[in-house]
Structure 1
Amino acid sequence: MNTLKIDKCPLCGESHFEEVMTCTDHYASGESFAICRCQHCGFQFTQAAPVEAEIGRYYETPDYISHSDTHKGLMNRVYHWVRRFMLSRKARLIKHHSGLSRGYLLDIGTGTGYFPHFMQEKGWRVSAIEKSLQARQFAKAHFSLDVDSPDILDSYADNSFDVITLWHVMEHLEHLNETWETLSRILKDRGILVIAVPNPTSFDAEKYKEMWAAYDVPRHLWHFTPSAMQQFGAKHNFILCERHPMPFDAFYVSMLSEKYRKSAFPFIKGLIAGTEAWIVSLAKKDRSSSMIYVFRKK
């Protein structure tokens, strides 16, 4: 297996790292991967993950919900309930920050197509990108959405989109800085970039440590703290306008983490931990399980 060896920090360019922990891929392979931290800027990443051309098999499981849309099991049913709630919230957030009721929107890593379909029904002209053929076929069959593969991203013209969204996608992208550069090029000057990622400084991340399900190695290559996300934006000519907590993520992530721990009654224990995390995030949003970041061009 060819692996992605990180020898320079993608955020600061330094090359002195320390291993923070070793996490297990509970989802697909049972393999273990090291999470390292840059000693200069503190950015964390998964070391020696499979390269992009070979990582596909780590997504090939009927339980990988963003690709399969499975309703199997109580926790996946919770995921679907939260997703329905979040679709409306995402649409309101976009309208508030863009000042638009409709326009040109690009959703990257669209999964099975629920979000672009929802926005299309609200009058937006939507383009969508997804690397999973299975997920693209689902979106076509269920929503009549023509979802493109990732190789189309570089072909978009400059200043093409009013809004670009990546919902839990940035942490998967091997070519991190190159993607940021492309996003800056294809976003309109008055457009907004919306990125949602897990937060390794959250209450639930600190509670579960290496068992935290949102580390999701090796599929998650990068682990963005709020500070790191702001610095990446600044590095690529973006200003962070606002950040929003995603407190519901803590419930799903905590349930999965309890399952990985092989706890008795993982749903109940995860529900309790998720409630604790939600209460903490009310007082300090940067401790939320996941965060939404809204950027504009400088």
Structure 2
Amino acid sequence: MICTDHLVSGEKFEIKEYQKGILRTQPLPDNLSRYYDSEDYISHSDSENSLQDKIYHLVKSHMLSKKTTWIRGYIKQGSILDYGAGTGEFLNTIKKFLWNVEGVEPNSTARELGILKGLNLKSELSELTNLNYDVITLWHVLEHIPDFEIKVAEFRKLLKDDGLLIIAVPNYNSYDSKYYNENWAAWDVPRHLWHFSRNGIKEKFSHLGFRLVEEKPLKFDSYYVSLLSEKNKPGSSNLINAFYRGFISNHQAKRSGEYSSITYFFKKDPETHFKAI
């Protein structure tokens, strides 16, 4: 499949199979950072200028509370590392429940916004002082990491034996992905270097020393991704069609489990060890 970078460059990239259930964007750009250099890249900004921005932040506010509730259903209080923390909204939310929070955010603009909120954000894992966490989260971040297998091995070392690794990623087997095809906004090439199916991510993480304990859908993502996908299509975007496609995606996923985006809850598997393949 050939997809276009609709956000920054207009360049075309190919999506190919990497392993069963995992796809990879090719070629890997030499300077990835320049593909994030856009005021429209919403996760690195607190902007609420457009309708799209307002919808994003409204949904995000609701989901921050839900994510915190999910985590506290496992562990009431502890230490948490958010990798790819953006401007720090998630950490600020869970911090209210007296969690010890730290974050890693490579993008300097987003990181500085988070630091201004009083958060302890670093640019990379090697700068962390705490080396033992109850929870490590990656909210729509894994797909951006070039060497994600190596990073997951590092997360395993940083996680307590009974800790949680929480990964949220788009699902390329969802209805909205198949409907919008190459215009599906969650391909987001070349920022999204990797693309995962449910079986693909489960199998990969079993090889990396983790067992899946739960999946939770991110139901609002189907609507938001469909809204962005409408803008990627040739011709004018259709707001009504976007919400209709988001609804159909969630409706079908009730039976199939193939939601637009899914949060995976992993625990260390003491019977397996890191095996990069």
- What is the identity percentage for the equivalent residue pairs of Structure 1 and Structure 2? 39
- Structure 2 residue corresponding to 1:119, chosen from 85, 90, 94: 94
Find the residue that maps to 1:239 and give its secondary structure. Answer: strand
Kindly state the Cα deviation for residue 157 of structure 1 after the two structures are TM-superposed.
6.1
Are positions 1:296 and 2:263 aligned together?
no
Q: Specify every segment of 5 or more residues in structure 1 that has no aligned partner in the other structure, as ranges.
A: 1-20
Q: How many residues align?
A: 269
Kindly state the Cα deviation for residue 139 of structure 1 after the two structures are TM-superposed.
1.2
Find the residue that maps to 2:121 and give its secondary structure. Answer: coil
Are positions 1:227 and 2:199 aligned together?
yes
2:72 aligned residue:
95
Query: Can you list the C-alpha shifts for 1:23-50, whole angstroms capped at 9, x where unaligned?
Result: 0000111000000014x62421101121
The list of structure 1 runs, each at least 4 consecutive aligned residues, that deviate by more than 6 angstroms after superposition, is: none
C-alpha RMSD over aligned residues: 1.5
Kindly state the Cα deviation for residue 263 of structure 1 after the two structures are TM-superposed.
4.3
**Normalised TM-score (structure 1):** 0.87
Kindly state the Cα deviation for residue 281 of structure 1 after the two structures are TM-superposed.
2.0
Are positions 1:138 and 2:113 aligned together?
yes
| Counterpart-to-counterpart distance in 1, 2:265 and 2:219 | 17
Kindly state the Cα deviation for residue 156 of structure 1 after the two structures are TM-superposed.
5.6
User: For the structure 1 residues 139 and 42, does the alpha-carbon distance in structure 2 shift closer, same or farther, using more than 3 Å as the test?
Assistant: closer
| Counterpart-to-counterpart distance in 1, 2:107 and 2:98 | 26
1:37 aligned partner, one-letter code: E
The more displaced of 116-125 and 255-264 is 255-264
Are positions 1:194 and 2:171 aligned together?
no
Pairwise mapping of residues 152-171 of structure 1 onto structure 2 (< 5 A)?
152=126, 160-171=132-143
Find the residue that maps to 2:160 and give its secondary structure. Answer: strand
2:268 aligned partner, one-letter code: K
Query: Can you list the C-alpha shifts for 1:231-279, whole angstroms capped at 9, x where unaligned?
Result: 1211111010011111110111000000111443432221111111121
| Counterpart-to-counterpart distance in 2, 1:256 and 1:161 | 35
Query: Can you list the C-alpha shifts for 1:103-153, whole angstroms capped at 9, x where unaligned?
Result: 000000011110001011111000101011110111122x21121102536
- Structure 2 residue corresponding to 1:147, chosen from 121, 130, 136: 121
Q: Specify every segment of 5 or more residues in structure 2 that has no aligned partner in the other structure, as ranges.
A: 270-277
The more displaced of 161-170 and 40-49 is 40-49
2:267 aligned partner, one-letter code: R
**Normalised TM-score (structure 2):** 0.93
- Does structure 1 conserve the Cα–Cα contact (< 8 Å) formed by 2:146 and 2:193? yes
RCO (CA 8 Å, sep 6+): is it higher in 1 or 2? 2
1:239 aligned residue:
211
2:221 aligned residue:
249
1:15 aligned residue:
none
